[in-house]
Amino acid sequence: MTATTDPSPAKPAPLITADTRAFWDACAQGVLTFQRCTACGHVQFPPRPFCVSCRADGPVTERSAGLGTVHSHTIVHRAPTPAFKADVPYILALVDFDEGFRLMAALRDCPPADARIDLRVRVVFEPMAGGGALPQVRPLLE
Amino acid sequence: MKPVIAGVADTAVGRLEGVSCMALHAEAAAAALADANLRPSDVDGVLCAYSLAEPHLMLSSVFNEYFGIAPSYSAAVQAGGATACALVMQAAALVRAGICRNVLAVCADNRLSGLGRGGAVAALAEVGHPQFERPYGMSIPAAYALVARRWMHERGTAPDDFARQLAAIAVTQRGHAHRHPNAQARDPLTMEQALSARMIADPLRLFDCCLVSDGGAAVVVSAVDAAADRSDRAVSILGYGQMNTHEHVFAMPSLTDFGCRQSAAQAFAMAGLTPSDIDVAEIYDSFTITLLAELESIGFFPKGEAGPAILDGALDLDGTLPCNTHGGLLSYAHSGAAGGMFHIVEAVRQLRGEADRRQVAGAETAFVHGDGGILSAHCSLILGRA
Ligand SMILES: [Zn+2]
């Protein structure tokens, strides 16, 4: 529990499960995916083997265009763990992608003063130290 | 059988070097039983929470063994900041069902001396989603800051006005804590200090965030006839309710309206009361925004009016809704599930007229609320002078 004395402050990698393996494999290829129910059309994230709206099995995986809108954001000045200390200040956002699902992501390449609700953003993929890629966002240049 | 709160107690709070998590549990439990005029052997139900500093899969069994009791019913509940209220709700249900006659609900943690502030912040960040939040460096203050920003946006509050509303909560509660001899943070706090404190997660500054503490608290819920010899001090449990809408911030159905609306509505319906009937409120305040948002979501203030009312002194001891009269998590203490239990202990003291310099004159009804996660799990209680 003594994260402050951890000699190797590596950022935590996503703890991938059987539900999310395909999502992270797609991220590694630079593709953002979400699920849509074939029975009722409900869009959901994160992936799971059933629809939370109508309970039908087997929602299908679809490819997102990677465009979204900032629902809310914060500028983090105090890192939760030493692994993120070098990054502060960094912007975290909740992003509503156009297909109808929400993701948390860091808002990159954006001066803190320009961060705002309703900002249009595009997904970018950042390689992780241990392999794979993390979806983040940057302002969409019109 | 009708349940009542027969006894309450808390330990010292702050940095308590050299005391184990279980010793804090035992100290709070023994004092609450003494307050209820009960012996440890009278306890037939035990409800515990969790510990970050000394975690165990079966904390209630660990406590029973350590304390030296063998209750017929025992369970540990983990619902974050909703836990303490949930324990009292469950204890009341156990008594009402005739399963138990004296239920001891006890919470403690030594997360300040056991983990340090940095360690506690890191341990708490673990509640973030292991795939879709933690890898992004989401702290708990950051999650609440996302709520705060959206709240400000939807209410149309200017950033400076919003900052002043949040600061007023911190300053008001520090004033309450100053009147409590045991509070961890009793030094006076001014609006200027609060507004210029270092930023943690914009727009939340240092004094918008709760303390990290050691400490414990306990509540004894008894059948009314088991508590008869202390009936002058027993407190009635008039209503309770819960609501659970999500766990993670990215999955919140709304960033401005929460399950506290439904949990409070259940409790008020059961009690046959409305928010305007409440004399004193002890509402979860992990962050200033938590309280501001819940005050409106529960219905104590119309939409957009809580902030200005707080600036006008609504939460003062002589205000329209005296709130967090011990200082709350922001200024009294926050030691895990016990943090929420301090709210319950304070409500009971207010109803008994034992709150000394913090006493709300003539307090007969109290509303207590706890929420866990990121406004995820909610539990409300309504207590009354017996
Ligand atoms: Zn469906």
Instruction: Give the ipTM of the model, two decimals please.
Output: 0.94
**Chain B residues within an 8 Å CB radius of A81:** 122, 125, 137
Q: What is the mean pLDDT of the segment spanning B84-108?
A: 98
Mean pLDDT of B320-335: 98
- pTM, 2 dp: 0.96
State the smallest CA–CA distance between residue B127 and chain A in angstroms. Answer: 11
Instruction: Classify A53 as helix, strand or coil.
Output: coil
A10 Cβ under 8 Å from any chain B Cβ = no
| Residue A68 lies inside a defined structural domain of this protein | yes
**Nearest-CB residue to B123 (from A1, A71, A106):** A1
Q: Which residues of B touch A128 (CB under 8 A)?
A: 135
Nearest CA in chain B to A126: B136
The domain in which residue A36 lies consists of: 21-139
The total number of structural domains in chain A stands at: 1
A34-43, B108-117, B216-225, B307-316: which has the minimum mean pLDDT? B108-117
For ligand 1, the distance from its centroid to the CA atom of residue B247, given in whole angstroms, is 21
User: Exposed (0-12), middle (13-18) or buried (19+): which is A21, by Cβ within 10 Å?
Assistant: exposed
- In this structure, are residues B41 and B68 in contact, taking their beta carbons and an 8 Å threshold? no
Give the mean model confidence (pLDDT) for residues A109-126.
97
The pLDDT-based confidence of A7 (bands split at 50, 70, 90) is low
Q: pLDDT tier at B362 (50, 70, 90 boundaries)?
A: very high
Place of tokens 């002589």: B318
Please give the share of chain B, as a percent, with pLDDT higher than 90: 92
Question: Is residue A90 in a domain?
Answer: yes
Q: Return the sign of the alpha-carbon dihedral for residues B76, B82, B87, B89.
A: negative
Residue A16 makes CB contacts below 8 A (sequence gap 6+) with A24, B131
CA of A58 relative to ligand 1 center, distance in Å? 9
Question: Residues B288-304: what's their mean pLDDT?
Answer: 97
Q: What long-range pairs does B92-100 form, CB within 8 A, spacing at least 24?
A: B92/B3, B92/B221, B92/B237, B92/B240, B94/B45, B94/B221, B95/B1, B95/B2, B95/B3, B95/B221, B95/B222, B95/B223, B96/B1, B96/B2, B96/B3, B98/B1, B99/B45, B99/B73, B100/B44, B100/B45, B100/B72, B100/B73
Q: Report which secondary-structure segment, H or E, holds A21.
A: helix A21-28
Q: What are phi and psi of B183, to 5 degrees?
A: -65, 150
Quote the mean pLDDT of chain B: 96
Residue A9's pLDDT band, with cuts at 50, 70 and 90, is: confident
How close is the Cα of A37 to the center of ligand 1, in Å? 5
CA B290 to chain centre: 11
In this complex, which of A78, A94, A112 lies closest to B139 when CB atoms are compared? A78
Q: Are A19 and A47 in contact (CB under 8 A)?
A: yes
- Residue B230: predicted pLDDT: 67
Instruction: pLDDT band for B297, please (50, 70, 90 cuts).
Output: very high
* A4 falls within a domain: no
Residues of A in contact with B139 (CB under 8 A): 76, 78-80
How far apart CA B86 and CA B185 sit, in angstroms, is 27
Q: A113 CB near a chain B CB, below 8 Å?
A: no
Pairing state between β A102-106 and A67-76: unpaired
For residue A35, how far is its CA from the centre of ligand 1 (angstroms)? 10
Mutation site, B113, B115, B132, interface A, largest A CB count within 10 A: B132
Q: Is the dihedral of CA B181, B183, B186, B190 positive or negative?
A: negative
| Contact check, Cβ <8 Å, A77/B201 | yes
What is the CATH number assigned to the segment(s) B3-114+213-230? 3.40.47.10
> Are B112 and B370 within 8 A, CB to CB?
no
Q: Are strands B45-48 and B73-76 parallel, antiparallel or unpaired?
A: parallel
B170-197 pLDDT, tens digit per residue, is 999 999 999 999 999 999 999 999 999 9
In B186-245, where does DSSP find H-type helix?
191-196
Q: In the A/B pair of chains, how many CB contacts fall below 8 A?
A: 122
Decide if A74 and B122 are in contact by the 8 Å CB cutoff. no
Least confident of B46-60, B71-85, B208-222, B223-237: B223-237
Asked if residue B132 lies in contact with residue A104, where contact means CB atoms within 8 angstroms, the answer is yes
Residues in chain B: 386
A contact test, residue of B246, B247, B250, B252 with most A CBs within 10 A = B250
- Helix residue ranges, H only, B187-327: 191-196, 260-271, 288-298, 306-311
| Confidence band for A5, pLDDT divided at 50, 70 and 90 | low
Instruction: Identify the closest residue of chain A to B253 by CA–CA distance.
Output: A102
Flag if A14 and B146 touch (Cβ within 8 Å).
no
Residues of B in contact with A87 (CB under 8 A): 137
The chain B residues in contact with chain A (CB within 8 A) are 52-53, 115-116, 118-119, 121-123, 125, 128, 130-142, 145-150, 153, 198-204, 249-251, 255
| H-helix segments, chain B | 21-35, 59-67, 83-96, 111-125, 140-155, 159-178, 191-196, 260-271, 288-298, 306-311, 328-331, 337-352
Q: Is A94 at the interface with chain B, CB within 8 A?
A: yes
Question: Ligand 1 center to residue B133 CA distance, Å?
Answer: 25
Q: Do B287 and B208 form a contact (C-beta atoms < 8 A)? A: yes
Q: Is residue A8 part of a domain?
A: no
The confidence band for A24, taking pLDDT boundaries of 50, 70 and 90, is: very high
What burial class does residue B191 get, using C-beta atoms within 10 Å of its C-beta: 0-12 exposed, 13-18 middle, 19+ buried? Answer: middle
| Residue contact A77–B200, C-beta within 8 A | yes
Which secondary structure element, helix H or strand E, spans residue B237, and what is its range? strand B235-244
A41 CB contacts (<8 Å, ≥6 apart)?
none
How confident is the model over B125-143, as pLDDT tens digits? Answer: 788 999 999 999 999 999 9
Nearest-by-Cβ selection for B202 from A17, A77, A105: A77
